[in-house]
């Protein structure tokens, strides 16, 4: 495979000493992946991971993933690959690309590893206040780019209220996507509306969380199921350097830290010891007695997103969560 001039320019590569080979894992339904290897005159290699895709959808996805990875990388550099850039091929304007660090995935870290655990890295990410967006005087909930959760491009327009962001930009937004994909559904519509208008203000209101202090926006991965976390070495050879616990295929936004836990609960893979270590560093938001219900409310978004993307049984999971929360908080 010949490397496109736009990628050569971005990475300042020597095409005569650069090879491209297939790599696994694309993070979405339509992306292809490649490993770029440049061998220098000194025999040392530089390696990169590249995703490519066609059409507007790929362009939006790669722009968002570039911003996502670098938001996480800026806060906790060893938590995810760094993104070097994205753009369109010179040879094919309809083909987009994203280039990041190459990550050699390996087995779990050794018991003697000196590198930080995933729980501690995630805790560091979730205790670092989000940056202040251009044009604002304080951190906001949202994100400066559209990010994709699976193949869903999300509405990340900024809001100062977390409850408003979650109700509008997540629940009502994904309901519209679900209805567009699966048709009108009176029961589902009514339950989402009650969840957004009653449950969200009751559980997530700025005057309710942390004794009325609200929550500080932090960067979250946004799609952190177990398939988007692993152990790897940045570079070509898993035998060189220590393995790091890492995340990838991010769908970042500035959010309440506990929003991260919704999809982690939905698909599992992060056990009790993980959460014990994590919450030892990031205490549960007050009121602590409502923690499980908040996590269920955050899990709801992912059930609705999966229903919008895949239909079928994901509807029942969403309905079950909403009925329970509406029963408990819907009359508040």
Neighbouring C-alpha atoms within 13 Å toward the C-beta of 300 = 32
CB of 275 closer than 8 Å to CB of 235:
no
Give the total residue count for the chain: 332
Q: How would DSSP label each residue in 196-232? A: IIIIHHHHH-TTTGGGGT----EEE-S---GGGEEEE
Place of tokens 């290897």: 37
**Cα(first)–Cα(last) distance of the chain, in Å?**
61
CA pair distance 22, 239, nearest whole angstrom: 21
Q: Does the annotation count 249 as an active-site position?
A: no
Which candidate in 4, 223, 249, 293 is catalytic? Answer: 223
Here the tokens at position 16 are: 């005569």
DSSP state of 171: I
CB of 16 closer than 8 Å to CB of 37:
no
Here the tokens at position 49 are: 């991971």
Place of tokens 């696994």: 24
Neighbouring C-alpha atoms within 13 Å toward the C-beta of 24 = 2
Q: Is 118 helix (H, G, I), strand (E, B) or coil?
A: helix
Q: Is 22 helix (H, G, I), strand (E, B) or coil?
A: strand
CA pair distance 52, 33, nearest whole angstrom: 6
Cα–Cα distance list, 322 to 56, 190, 301, 331 (Å): 34, 10, 10, 13
Q: Which residues are tagged catalytic?
A: 223
């Amino acid at each position: 495979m010949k490397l496109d001039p736009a990628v050569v320019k971005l990475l300042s590569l020597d095409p005569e000493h650069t090879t491209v080979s297939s790599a696994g894992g694309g993070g979405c339904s339509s992306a292809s992946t490649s490993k770029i290897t440049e061998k220098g005159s000194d025999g040392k290699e530089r390696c990169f991971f590249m995703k490519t895709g066609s059409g507007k959808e790929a362009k939006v996805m790669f722009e968002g993933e570039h911003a996502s990875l670098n938001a996480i990388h800026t806060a906790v550099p060893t938590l995810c690959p760094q993104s070097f850039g994205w753009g369109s091929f010179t040879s094919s304007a309809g083909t987009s690309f994203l280039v990041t660090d190459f990550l050699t995935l390996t087995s779990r870290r050794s018991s003697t590893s000196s590198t930080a655990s995933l729980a501690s890295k995630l805790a560091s990410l979730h205790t670092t206040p989000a940056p202040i967006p251009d044009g604002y005087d304080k951190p906001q909930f949202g994100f400066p780019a559209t990010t994709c959760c699976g193949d869903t491009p999300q509405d990340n327009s900024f809001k100062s209220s977390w409850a408003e962001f979650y109700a509008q930009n997540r629940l009502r937004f994904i309901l519209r996507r679900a209805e567009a994909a699966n048709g009108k559904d009176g029961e589902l519509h009514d339950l989402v509306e009650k969840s957004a208008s009653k449950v969200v203000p009751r559980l997530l209101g700025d005057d309710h969380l942390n004794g009325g202090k609200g929550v500080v926006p932090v960067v979250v991965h946004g799609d952190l199921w177990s398939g988007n976390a692993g152990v790897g070495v940045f570079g070509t050879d898993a035998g060189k350097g220590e393995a790091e616990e890492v995340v990838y295929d991010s769908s970042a936004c500035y959010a309440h830290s506990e929003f991260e836990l919704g999809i982690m609960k939905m698909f599992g893979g992060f056990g009790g010891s993980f959460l014990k270590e994590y919450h030892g560093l990031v205490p549960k938001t007050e009121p602590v007695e409502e923690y499980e219900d908040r996590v269920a409310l955050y899990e709801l978004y992912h059930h609705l997103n999966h229903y919008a993307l895949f239909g079928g049984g994901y509807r029942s999971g969403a309905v079950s969560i909403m009925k329970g929360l509406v029963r408990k908080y819907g009359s508040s």
